[in-house]
Structure 1
């Protein structure tokens, strides 16, 4: 790309002003990605993509419209601005439409302190293929692994720059390296599969191919002979690899869009206990070397560590400027956006209070119940919090894993489930969402 991203965003703002917009903001994204998949010892796919996308939002009073493009010519920018202004004239008024003002802008931010970009060179495709082959070989070395379904290695690097007609301009870059494997045991109706993968900002931090392959294989072997568990009311332990899904349901319920619509089972819950009193949920957008870290949000507001839940009590909604205005509140600097839509609320890094016991100790505490390691589908009533999901994992009796299970459904109510959480101490701290294994009492299982 010949033009710096900041030049592209400024050119879009200039085009919007010439087209008659009252205000505008622009985003430019430069991305490169490389992915390799190996199957049966042979290269299955090799893909590389790169390009620049731009987006423009224009405002006419309380009306707005968004357009995007990948053509960076001045003529395209002029056409984008003219179309956006024409669309805004026909759009309904929205009381949330506004930009951050200069006194609200993030200033003197240091994106380098967040370590969002691996300084090493982009890996060669041959190096990614070799890592995938090594992971596949490690998985196949485990007895009774019939085949490895897919092994993939990837790398991505992305730069972003936003600018507003109110005067904010800023950008940052991030990188990601990943490696995963999916292993299979058995044949036909007796087939079982499981996976393991790792993703890091710095490639040097990535788990070794051997660990990825062996872990995927060991998880798969443990699932041989899976059957349905009994039906009834039992405690359920959500394994660390899927426990963050419970917190995700809470986050969806406190998202500003849900609160503005009145479509949340946590509406009216501000200042109310939503977790056990010993637990807190903290957003940490400035935690280094994590996938969701960022020095400012998509509207130019400074980010900072903030409590979402403190000692079990809900302290705030997740808001951007628009949802905050509609609720008569201030933005929590949670705006996120792509090139083709206006900002909307979204969380960054999260950390839930860890417990003082291991997962094994929680299994012993549970006695008899279900250890969940995988989930599919979800039926969540947004108004009541009624919860139903398909699950698989392991049946536990007298605190010990006895056999693998599949084809069961877990049901309960999220409000009650979240207030009964008991955390383990096994969260992986390099993840964006640091959530340990979580024990939940009194769920209904539908199995045999």
Structure 2
């Protein structure tokens, strides 16, 4: 396969569309009543350095396809990384063989034909970076050097890495829909270790974007990693208490991911969500607005159609704190007696309505409490909403950071946490598929000494 960073993506898409046509034709020839298929191809470069030395240089090249066939309400799937004609025929035959032995499922099948994307808008997702290995190593080294030189308390490094990837995705089904688009993604990150006396702390920073010019500079990434690390030196433990909690923006984005998991169709039809039957109900205070924009230009999660071929479009998830929609693909929508929301493959580019409060203003609003900057563990129960995770951060008094804290656990219930949201800041300082500022929660349990 040609290098996707330099090859004409239009030509590559045509090649993958031809593979889709072959798959669908084979499925029809084998007697399938309906079929769908996806083909992807990607190339990339990843380099990693540590303490000024090259650790790894990796060129990647991947491609694969998946086929799903339907014989009435029976379904079979198969996949292969071989795009030859013979391999495609074998994959279709395997999928058909599986389908003939599976149990009927009344919701098995394609999304309605009238919901298929009729246009594939350009979302400005393709920005190849023809960077050489030498220049990639130099940038990663510059990033690590900036972190190590920023403060004498930075004594070690876990290394810096740079990655660049270019890919193509094509999906088609027996409705006659075939669509594809190219995309790129680039990233730079570094993690370092600081030390004062016997106390050692580690932290990191990163940047990710569709276009290389949208990345933070190597020096900025390194400096921020060092700043975050030395801020944690001298961390103390807290005694157990209840107090207000401020989640830094990156951690607040994680709370939104828990929300998405709870309103995801597969969780709902399995009755494994703490937000069952909450559509149209207030689950946040009335100042909270949350939207999804899958058509955002250069968005890290943008897509013109979802994994079922259904056209995507911007929509409100929360309006005035009220849940406006679930996140449904065609199958889960059928199980719930609803219509797909074009979320096969997940939610794409969420944005929270932010206030005018910057970080200092949010700390003043916090007053006395915990400012959480990092979370550990997986203590979240999607069925009950119970939330318990290890945390590090800072203890704040009278709106001013007093000292870093570690080895604590914060606990609550997500339903109560969502309704107890007091304020959202405008201090989003990273590029991601979720845009939010910090979140101030009324109160949580803090378990410590």
| Cα deviation code 1:309-354 (max 9, x no counterpart) | 1110001110011111111111001112xxxxxxxxx111101110
1:354–1:427: 8 Å Cα contact kept in structure 2? no
Answering whether residue 17 of structure 2 is matched by residue 26 of structure 1, we say no
SS class of match (1:355): coil
Answering whether residue 13 of structure 2 is matched by residue 5 of structure 1, we say no
**Corresponding residue number in structure 2 for 1:442:** 443
Answering whether residue 241 of structure 2 is matched by residue 232 of structure 1, we say yes
Alignment TM-score, normalising by the size of structure 2: 0.94
Q: How many residues align?
A: 436
Change (3 A) 1:84 1:187: farther
Change (3 A) 1:428 1:93: farther
| Cα deviation code 1:163-187 (max 9, x no counterpart) | 1011110001110111001010128
Change (3 A) 1:390 1:121: closer
Any residues of structure 2 matched to 1:13-412 within 5 Å, and which? 13-111=24-122, 114-118=123-127, 120-141=128-149, 142-186=151-195, 190-336=199-345, 346-412=346-412
Distance 2:411 2:144 in 1: 37
Deviation at 1:188, TM superposition (A): 9.5
Distance 2:271 2:263 in 1: 11
Alignment TM-score, normalising by the size of structure 1: 0.95
The answer for unaligned runs of 5 or more in structure 1 is: 337-345
Distance 2:272 2:170 in 1: 33
| Cα deviation code 1:97-149 (max 9, x no counterpart) | 121333221112312xx11011x542111111110010111111122100111
Distance 2:383 2:395 in 1: 32
| Cα deviation code 1:49-99 (max 9, x no counterpart) | 113211111111112122111112222111111111111122222222121
The answer for unaligned runs of 5 or more in structure 2 is: 3-11
SS class of match (1:335): coil
SS class of match (1:225): coil
Distance 2:255 2:59 in 1: 35
CA-based RMSD of the aligned residues comes to 1.5
Change (3 A) 1:189 1:325: farther
Change (3 A) 1:190 1:171: same
Distance 1:124 1:36 in 2: 11
Change (3 A) 1:189 1:269: farther
| Cα deviation code 1:8-58 (max 9, x no counterpart) | 111111121222222111111011121100011110011111132111111
Distance 1:44 1:212 in 2: 19
Moved more, 17-26 or 98-107: 98-107
Q: After the TM superposition, which segments of 4 or more aligned residues of structure 1 sit over 3 Å from their partners?
A: none
Distance 2:91 2:197 in 1: 54
